[in-house]
Amino acid sequence: MHRSKFFAAILLAGSLALPGFEVMGATPAEIQKTYEAEARAAAPAFDGFSAERGQRFFSSTHGNDWSCSTCHTTKPSEPGRHATTGKDIAPMATAANPQRFTDAAKVEKWFRRNCKDVLGRACAAREKGDVLAYLMSLSK
Amino acid sequence: MNKVIQLKVVDVVVWAVSLLFAFGLLIGEAMADSDSFTATNKKWAAECGSCHIAYPPQLLPAASWRRIMAGLDRHFGSDASLDAASAAEIGAFLERNAGHGKRGRGEPLRITESRWFLHKHDEVRASAWKNPQVKSAANCGACHAGAARGDFDDDAVRIPR
């Protein structure tokens, strides 16, 4: 009896450790919360994210040729198109594409890459949170 | 008498070995020339397939894939960097299935700069490449409808007008 419980516990622990379980866990709001904690730690005067600031950030260039909207368009509730390859990109707005911002590692991977392409540096937590606020504010 | 038989056995063996070898070469060449690529890996499909189709590993030699994987943070104008575990898995998959024969020569960084590619596409008119529906020679799927599945059969090619 003890033994079977022990194995059941191991099985449960093992399945929880499967990547599939981890990635399904997050919601856009939860991911934004982690950016909020980082932003507050960086600047104690931080007073929350702004969808409006996020929209400006999203559609402006930052010293390089591309802005976020070059590929993701200025209407991120609609599909975008990769500026170089022409490949379709699914909508970024969470209302239009519920899979967006549900996998923290994937979100970080793309912010890391795309911020380097668009800004030539990593994005600050405040910038990431603003962009999320913007993309979460759009309706279908 | 015994010697004759022995000689014949040797003859048969030599013939059999040479035939097998020649046959093997033919099969090998035919496979290297195949236009259908089925090797697959989940990470490769997801990561390499997010900005363009996941190009089949057979289209470039192992040396090219090594160069590409070493420069992912500056990947044809974009940062395509990966975590170390994914990079190791994808790199091994690419090298294990890399091109041989005509697709194993040199170490081009772009598939479209390979000699076999240029030769294969030499009858495609310049205007076809400039068609907005094609946009880029990297857009295999514009003419090879099955490209994303690894199907590049000549007979299925449709160049958009």
A80, A110, B55, B159 from A88: Cα distances, Å:
6, 16, 16, 20
Determine contact, residues B141/B148, Cβ cutoff 8 Å: yes
Total Cβ atoms within 10 A of residue A140: 9
A-B contacts at Cβ under 8 angstroms = 35
Residue of chain A whose Cα is closest to the Cα of B81: A113
Residue A24 has pLDDT above 70, yes or no: no
Greatest mean pLDDT among A34-48, B15-29, B32-46 = A34-48
**pLDDT-based confidence at A10, cuts 50/70/90?**
low
B136:A85 CB<8 A: yes
The two structure tokens encoding residue A117:
């392409």
Rounded CA gap, B53 and B50, in Å?
A: 7
B81:A87 CB<8 A: no
Rounded CA gap, B150 and B38, in Å?
A: 6
Selecting from A82, A109, A112 the residue whose C-beta is nearest the C-beta of B51 gives: A82
For B75, phi and psi rounded to 5 degrees? Answer: -95, 90
User: Using a CB-CB distance cutoff of 8 angstroms, which residues of chain A are in contact with residue B136?
Assistant: 84-86
Distance from CA of B92 to the nearest CA of A (A): 21
**pTM of the predicted model as reported, rounded to 2 decimal places:** 0.79
Rounded CA gap, A88 and B50, in Å?
A: 9
Rounded CA gap, A119 and A123, in Å?
A: 8
- Segment A52-106, tens digit of pLDDT: 999 999 999 999 999 999 999 999 999 999 999 889 999 999 999 999 999 999 9
DSSP-derived pairing of the beta strands A80-81 and A88-89: antiparallel
Question: Mean pLDDT, to the nearest integer, of A11-29?
Answer: 60
DSSP state of A78: S
- Segment B99-125, tens digit of pLDDT: 999 999 999 999 999 999 999 999 999
**In sequence order, what are the beta bridge partners of B157?**
B144
Predicted local distance difference test score (pLDDT) of residue B20? 76
Rounded CA gap, A24 and A130, in Å?
A: 23
Which amino acid, A41?
A
Predicted local distance difference test score (pLDDT) of residue B25? 61
**pLDDT-based confidence at A21, cuts 50/70/90?**
very low
Distance from CA of B18 to the nearest CA of A (A): 48
All domains of chain A in start order, with CATH:
26-137 (1.10.760.10)
- pLDDT above 70 covers a percentage of chain B that reads 89
Q: List the single range of A109-118, B17-26, B34-43, B108-117 with lowest mean pLDDT.
A: B17-26
Residue of chain A whose Cα is closest to the Cα of B80: A113
- Segment B142-156, tens digit of pLDDT: 999 999 999 999 999
Distance from CA of A1 to the nearest CA of B (A): 39
DSSP string, chain A: -HHHHHHHHHHHHHHHHSHHHHHHH--HHHHHHHHHHHHHHH-TT-----HHHHHHHHHS--SSS--HHHHH-S-TTS-EE-TTT--EE---STTT-TTTT--HHHHHHHHHHHHHHHHSSPPPHHHHHHHHHHHHH---
A59, B33, B60, B102, B104 from B117: Cα distances, Å:
38, 12, 10, 10, 12
Whether A112 contacts chain B with CB within 8 A: yes
- Rg for chain A (alpha carbons), in Å? 18
**In sequence order, what are the beta bridge partners of B36?**
B151
A122, A134, A135, A139, B34 from A126: Cα distances, Å:
12, 12, 14, 22, 51
DSSP state of A124: P
Q: How far is Cα of residue B142 from the mean position of the Cα atoms in its chain?
A: 18
**In sequence order, what are the beta bridge partners of B75?**
B78
**pLDDT-based confidence at B33, cuts 50/70/90?**
low
Whether A4 contacts chain B with CB within 8 A: no
User: Using a CB-CB distance cutoff of 8 angstroms, which residues of chain B are in contact with residue A18?
Assistant: none
Total Cβ atoms within 10 A of residue B74: 11
Selecting from A82, A86, A117 the residue whose C-beta is nearest the C-beta of B79 gives: A117
Determine contact, residues A69/A62, Cβ cutoff 8 Å: no
Predicted local distance difference test score (pLDDT) of residue A7? 60
User: Using a CB-CB distance cutoff of 8 angstroms, which residues of chain B are in contact with residue A86?
Assistant: 135-136, 139
